[in-house]
Amino acid sequence: MDLQRNSLGLGNRPALLLVDMIVGFTSSRCPLGTDCPDVVKANRVLLDRFRSLALPVVFTTVVYHHESEAPVFRNRIKHLNLLTPDSEWVQVDPRLSPRQGEPVIGKQWASSFHRTNLDDWLKEQGVDSLVVTGLTTSGCVRATVVDGLQYDYPVVVPREAVGDRNPEAHKANLFDMHAKYADVMSLTETMDLLPSCQTA
């Protein structure tokens, strides 16, 4: 039986958090990636809307500067070692290039909150809720969504703006996130929440 839950939607000042929309994950040229033009397109739509409303936008990337960072994670998934500061793989997909004032937060683990300054930045921007997008649904997106709730942000996940290498994992994790941690809804439904948001 499914849990009873309340839909929280978005507050007055949501931020768009694009999780690991980097070349290493959006291109099949990288062993870690998969071509996902529809996910990129959905992120572009949201990015344009958030910018038009002057709402906060923040990106994350996965990058490793030295061998001591996340050794267990990297031993489990050896191709993570490709994500070095000088590689193209850690750059945000050029179709979603950040603008000045839109930070790209480097991380070493799955969650965008774990050992980063993300929460501090969100608080500085007066953010009261999150729209979380990106790659992958069953990995870094889910970990970020769970931590978003644990940092007391209502979270919305637009289905079309997240993706996974495994369709079954994608579907199962969307179900689980919606049941416990976030409002999972369509891109259109997410966009409909935004015009009523007041910018600071």
Domains recognised in the chain with CATH numbers: 14-193 (3.40.50.850)
SS3 for 130?
strand
Predicted confidence at residue 3, as pLDDT, reads 74
Q: Cα–Cα distances in Å, from 71 out to 8, 33, 68, 107, 108?
A: 37, 21, 6, 13, 10
Other CB atoms closer than 10 Å to residue 82's CB: what's the count?
A: 16
Q: Are 159 and 132 in contact (CB under 8 A)?
A: no
* 45 burial level (CB within 10 Å; 0-12, 13-18, 19+): middle
Residue 151 main-chain phi, psi, to 5 deg: -95, 10
Q: Cα–Cα distances in Å, from 162 out to 73, 112, 124, 157, 186?
A: 22, 15, 26, 8, 11
Known catalytic residue at 30: no
E runs forming strands in 31-189:
57-62, 104-107, 129-135, 155-158, 162-163, 183-185
- Tally the C-alpha atoms within 13 A of residue 93's C-alpha that lie toward its C-beta: 28
CB neighbour list of residue 11: distance below 8 Å, 6 or more residues apart = 128, 129, 154, 197
Measured distance CA(182)–CA(105) in Å, rounded = 22
What length does the chain have?
200
Please give the biggest Cα pair distance in the chain: 49
Predicted confidence at residue 200, as pLDDT, reads 46
Q: What is the pTM of this model?
A: 0.95
Per-residue pLDDT 10s for the chain (200 aa) are: 677 888 899 999 999 999 999 999 999 999 999 999 999 999 999 999 999 999 999 999 999 999 999 999 999 999 999 999 999 999 999 999 999 999 999 999 999 999 999 999 999 999 999 999 999 999 999 999 999 999 999 999 999 999 999 999 999 999 999 999 999 999 999 999 996 655 44
Predicted confidence at residue 37, as pLDDT, reads 98
Predicted confidence at residue 5, as pLDDT, reads 85
Other CB atoms closer than 10 Å to residue 178's CB: what's the count?
A: 18
E runs forming strands in 77-119:
104-107
Predicted confidence at residue 124, as pLDDT, reads 98
